[in-house]
């Protein structure tokens, strides 16, 4: 099968919440979801590990090992709400432009612009993760390499990066149906 015959939404499934939304919308079988999630989590860890191995200790400390952290000036519920909202917009865009149509010519533009707006709007609050695998991998690597600039409580708000995206993706499924 040529590359261009693969449904476009498959390429946006590097995010666990998008996988959940696509399966919830009936565009892929649910039994595929655990396999996607496993590969996403493994990829997040391997990517963070590779980045840590090519950085100096100072660079790793300065970047907090790539960990997504809740801003100290924001409350937990603000982080949860922001992750939920931006993930909703991303999943809703994927469902409407890539998964729901045969002609998805503008899907890359729509999804790219949505991601850009999401990052600009919540980057300072939560790091705009929208992806549990992207948050888990760097946190584990930061713990392994014991980066000194990570706050002692960096695991305390980690649930935001799991609950927020799945709340947003579930809301996108409900609106989609």
- Per-residue pLDDT reduced to its tens digit, 145-171: 876 666 767 788 889 999 999 999 999
| pLDDT at position 172 | 94
Domains of the chain: 12-176 (1.20.1080.10)
pLDDT band at 7 (very low <50, low <70, confident <90, very high): low
| pLDDT at position 42 | 93
For residue 148, how far is the Cα from the chain centroid?
Answer: 25
Residues 6+ apart with CB under 8 A from 9: 18, 22, 27, 94, 98, 99, 104, 107
**Contact between residue 165 and residue 16 where contact means Cβ atoms under 8 Å apart:** yes
Distance between CA 41 and CA 136 in Å, rounded?
A: 7
Distance between CA 60 and CA 52 in Å, rounded?
A: 6
Distance between CA 74 and CA 121 in Å, rounded?
A: 14
- Taking only the tens place, the pLDDT of each residue in 69-105 is 888 888 999 999 999 999 999 999 988 888 766 777 7
**Contact between residue 140 and residue 44 where contact means Cβ atoms under 8 Å apart:** no
- Taking only the tens place, the pLDDT of each residue in 110-131 is 888 999 999 999 988 988 888 8
pLDDT band at 4 (very low <50, low <70, confident <90, very high): very low
**Contact between residue 25 and residue 177 where contact means Cβ atoms under 8 Å apart:** yes
Q: Does residue 20 have a pLDDT over 60? A: yes
**Contact between residue 125 and residue 70 where contact means Cβ atoms under 8 Å apart:** yes
Distance between CA 166 and CA 20 in Å, rounded?
A: 8
Q: Does residue 37 have a pLDDT over 70? A: yes
pTM of the entire predicted model: 0.84
């Amino acid at each position: 099968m040529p590359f261009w015959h693969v449904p476009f939404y498959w390429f946006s499934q590097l995010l666990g919440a998008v996988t959940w939304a696509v399966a919830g919308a009936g565009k892929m079988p649910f039994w595929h979801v655990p396999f996607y999630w496993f590969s996403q989590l493994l990829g997040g860890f391997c990517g963070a590990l590779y980045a840590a191995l090519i950085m100096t200790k100072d660079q790793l400390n300065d970047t907090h090992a790539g960990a997504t952290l809740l801003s100290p000036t924001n409350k937990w519920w603000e982080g949860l709400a922001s992750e939920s909202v931006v993930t909703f917009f991303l999943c809703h865009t994927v469902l409407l432009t890539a998964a729901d149509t045969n002609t998805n010519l503008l899907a890359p533009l729509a999804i790219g612009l949505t991601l850009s707006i999401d990052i600009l709007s919540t980057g300072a609050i939560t790091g705009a993760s929208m992806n549990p695998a992207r948050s888990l991998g760097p946190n584990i690597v930061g713990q392994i390499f014991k980066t000194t600039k990570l706050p002692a409580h960096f695991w305390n708000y980690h649930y935001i990066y799991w609950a927020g995206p799945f709340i947003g993706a579930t809301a996108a499924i409900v609106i989609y149906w």
